[in-house]
Structure 1
């Protein structure tokens, strides 16, 4: 079975397509089980974030994995094929190392992706689809990411998604201290955004979530208040900034809801940041004159400053990754040789045991120990070199030189 990385991300596909093939966290386990059950896949893991849906698999037929991905999401394969990438072997290993290190992120060096990859590994392990190969690869991936972050400046001055959201708002409003901010959702991304916005001391900070207890707990951390998600249409008009990131498969903020909020605000501008994939805010909202709607794809333009200063860090990180790719591939090759090594050791031990039993029997009969030891050593030598000698004797023509070179390298023979 060969290793493959297959999927699409913000480099290869627009958000409108990425959201169609995103996996819901609660359904990942069953999706993995279905994949290995219905396709010739021995091991599998799925990484699904706002920027990417990627499958890491041990299989000989990656095209059947692409076919399954389309079937699972009820999308015609011809619609996603132009945007899919398939990376085999060393390219797949390098890709995973780069993703975990933040080199492939929309925001260079962002740290969240490492936690998301660890979660992908945990979900695959729980689903029973994480075998020896992928387990080793994930562990090596985490180790490489740690080395990159601890020995290079890739994490210096990182503009995270959360910080980028703040920067976008600051482009519209002169002072965040006068603005009211509403967070829709209470997950990790919203928590990070809340921390960044709280640092700007906005006039009001509110969290809306389906689970009131989670909303209240998060709001309390930043001195804000909480509302139930079903009150969203009622309270939306009060807020100047709306940041949304939920796991809802369908938009929860529609065009009509926003139009009514703008009318109540007398068309004072609103900034809406949609960090969810699939999107939480209907795309038609972007057509409204008084709304500045940003998606995860828009955040890429916020990080231009600071990229130049991190270019040397990127080169350093790529050098680390290249060395670690070779190291991992060496482990894979060594793993492929394990059955042959075991067979060789087993055969050698059988020869040793046979000669030892013969020697002990002769000693028991009272034969001279020196003669017995000499016969033991000759017997071991003859049997251990029988295979290579026979191999050389059977070689003919051009094969003789090749066979001779192989035996010399195997047994470290002095060419002189």
Structure 2
């Protein structure tokens, strides 16, 4: 059995290209089914698969008897509407120990834009549950991911990898503080009500802004989040008319198209008499049209723009990274040992079946002899002799066949298997 991974992330692909391959959580199940159905059933029956898709990465993990990286690249390129050559130029392909090492590093926060961040672990667990629910996760990938979670837990427990991490939300607050002298005088709008917006709202609320509003497609969910921060909730449809009210706009939805357009921002700036607006687009694909960034008095940042801020202070964590890599190395070796053992499972099963057949045959023969009145000692002697002959027959036949070189090799193997001294 082999495992392989195909992915693109914030270090290999620009934001707009990553946006073509972003899958919302509710899209994972049908996407996995499409992927698995695309493999030729003859050579790749029942391919295991899982997809991790976040604002910083999209990764496909597969397991099967034969590696099919080219096919996986072709399928993903087609799903994103790009040429396979373009995808390959921005993607990475890994297999076996390399794939295991990568997924362990991702789970541990070593491959994130924010070194040591813990959010990716929850996103990976969501991806694994989605794969399980659709029946795409078999024994091999389940072992790979469960071991990655265990390694991540050990890394966070045994090292200080996350002690100095700066989240995307904290970076946004820091940048906003550079534009506005006093964040307590600002009005903040959050677009969306997911985990990232929840985190961002928590950080901004700590600065006690003048007001907080949550705009969400589902008003009830927006109201629930707004209540926590003493803010108001509004419908997404009302956003263009009210955009001018806000100094800071943080957006992160699962929309496949931008929801804040150039025209709406231009009208808001006019109504604000060109007072500056600070905007952060944390969504992949984008929530805010990229042309907005060219407007005067608009300070627009994307997830990639925040990279420099969140990477500051990385030197403080290098010792923790070295410790984490040692833990990951051990985890990779353990997984590869398990994977190697998996290849012998069919042979072990066949040996057990064969041994049971021999045992059953000798037991039946022994019962017949006992029924005829043979002594117990004689029956036990015959049964043990019969089992011994069956066990030794194959080895003895091999010793008497083939050329001298093959007989010598067979003799060494048989000596190792049958002439071991008990310790």
1:112-131 counterparts in 2 under 5 A?
112-131=119-138
Contact 1:273 1:294 in 2 (8 A): yes
Is the aligned partner of 1:104 residue 2:102? Answer: no
- Equivalent residue of 1:23, what SS? coil
Corresponding residue to 1:342 among 349, 370, 380? 349
How big is each residue's C-alpha offset from its partner over 1:20-56, in whole Å with a ceiling of 9 and x where there is no partner? 1212333221111111112235111111111111111
- Equivalent residue of 2:256, what SS? coil
TM (normalized to structure 1)? 0.95
Deviates more, 1:4-13 or 1:137-146: 137-146
The equivalent residue for 1:49 is 54
RMSD: 1.8
| Alpha-carbon distance in structure 2 between the residues aligned to 1:281 and 1:393 | 78
The equivalent residue for 1:75 is 82
Is the aligned partner of 1:237 residue 2:249? Answer: no
Is the aligned partner of 1:13 residue 2:13? Answer: yes
The equivalent residue for 1:22 is 22
The equivalent residue for 1:38 is 38
1:144-223 counterparts in 2 under 5 A?
144-223=151-230
TM superposition shift of 1:302:
1.0
- Equivalent residue of 1:138, what SS? helix
Count of residue pairs the alignment pairs up: 415
TM superposition shift of 1:94:
1.2
TM (normalized to structure 2)? 0.93
Corresponding residue to 1:141 among 130, 135, 148? 148
Corresponding residue to 2:281 among 274, 293, 296? 274
TM superposition shift of 1:210:
1.2
TM superposition shift of 1:414:
5.0
Q: Where has structure 1 moved over 6 Å in runs of 4 or more?
A: none
| Alpha-carbon distance in structure 2 between the residues aligned to 1:386 and 1:349 | 16
| Alpha-carbon distance in structure 2 between the residues aligned to 1:105 and 1:410 | 48
| Alpha-carbon distance in structure 2 between the residues aligned to 1:305 and 1:62 | 36
Contact 2:4 2:69 in 1 (8 A): yes
Structure 1: state its 5+ residue gaps. Answer: none
The equivalent residue for 2:97 is 90
| Alpha-carbon distance in structure 2 between the residues aligned to 1:320 and 1:154 | 12
Contact 2:219 2:234 in 1 (8 A): yes
Corresponding residue to 1:58 among 38, 55, 63? 63
| Alpha-carbon distance in structure 1 between the residues aligned to 2:347 and 2:407 | 24
The equivalent residue for 2:335 is 328
The equivalent residue for 1:295 is 302
Corresponding residue to 1:256 among 263, 274, 281? 263
How big is each residue's C-alpha offset from its partner over 1:360-411, in whole Å with a ceiling of 9 and x where there is no partner? 3333333343333333222222221222222233242332343233223333
TM superposition shift of 1:288:
1.7
Contact 1:3 1:89 in 2 (8 A): yes
How big is each residue's C-alpha offset from its partner over 1:147-178, in whole Å with a ceiling of 9 and x where there is no partner? 22122211212211221221221222232212
The equivalent residue for 1:367 is 374
| Alpha-carbon distance in structure 2 between the residues aligned to 1:102 and 1:393 | 59
- Equivalent residue of 2:160, what SS? coil
Distance 1:178 1:401, change over 3 A: farther
Structure 2: state its 5+ residue gaps. Answer: none
Higher relative contact order (CA 8 A, sep 6+): 2
Deviates more, 1:99-108 or 1:371-380: 371-380
Contact 1:395 1:403 in 2 (8 A): no
| Alpha-carbon distance in structure 1 between the residues aligned to 2:238 and 2:215 | 8
Distance 1:325 1:411, change over 3 A: farther
Is the aligned partner of 1:311 residue 2:299? Answer: no
- Equivalent residue of 1:55, what SS? strand
